[in-house]
Amino acid sequence: MRKPENRLEDAIYTKCPLRFGQDGKFRILMVSDIHGGVGYAEKETVSSMQELVDRNQPNLVILGGDTAGPGRIHVENEAQLQFVLDGITSPMEKAGIPWAHVYGNHDNNFGLSNERQQAVYEAYPHCISKAGPEEISGVGNYVLPVWDASGKKILWNLFCLDSHRGMTEFAGQCGFPEDTEFLDPEGGRAQYSPGMVYFDQIMWYWETSKALEKYVGGGFPL
């Protein structure tokens, strides 16, 4: 598949196109909150990932956020992130299985921004994550279409969204001090609670969904 030339093509394009099998099945393995870091249980983490991949035989693996960090378990630069990812993703890379990721609330706590991390992720041959549109909030807002077995028709779409770091990040974007305390509906303090998907991301999802429906000439199953 050729590289994208416009926004719709960017939504449709995937470095390693995903397809349903001849049996009509598409299996996703999602692994979240690995909290990996240099010098912390690398062998155990890699062996666990290998066992999960071997047992489930997925068509796609999703790393669901908090891949590295926080606390003493973390990465501080691109080289350390690559070291961690070399191990975590080795089962997929060796088997040629496409994989993707989203960011969680602990992925950039030590100053290695998601923007800088994105280039490290996308350098892997079978990583199909995308940075996403620059004009909307966050990094890693993208869609992964899954085609039929022949690769001629999109049957399903997997939307990936950045859920952001937390309320401190939200406060900074609004021009408030990072130690601003927010109240949740139950009356508790939400200063350190995880982040959320923003309205402009929801609108991007809606607009992209409608564009994809128009492209295929119909809706998609929920």
pLDDT digits (tens, 9 = 90+) for 24-69: 999 999 999 888 777 665 788 889 999 999 999 999 999 998 887 6
Q: What is the mean pLDDT of residues 16-26?
A: 95
pLDDT digits (tens, 9 = 90+) for 70-121: 656 678 889 889 988 999 999 999 999 999 999 988 787 677 888 999 999 9
Q: Are 20 and 155 in contact (CB under 8 A)?
A: yes
pLDDT > 90? residue 11: no
pLDDT digits (tens, 9 = 90+) for 125-150: 999 999 999 999 999 999 999 999 99
Per DSSP, the residues of 175-212 read: TS-TT---B-TTS-B-TTS-----HHHHHHHHHHHHHH
pTM of the predicted model, to two decimals? 0.85
Residues 85-108, buried b or exposed e (16+ Cβ, 10 A)? bebbbebbbeeebbbbbbbbbbbb
Q: 14-28, 101-115, 157-171, 208-222: which has the highest mean pLDDT?
A: 14-28
Query: Six-digit token pair at 151?
Result: 């690769």
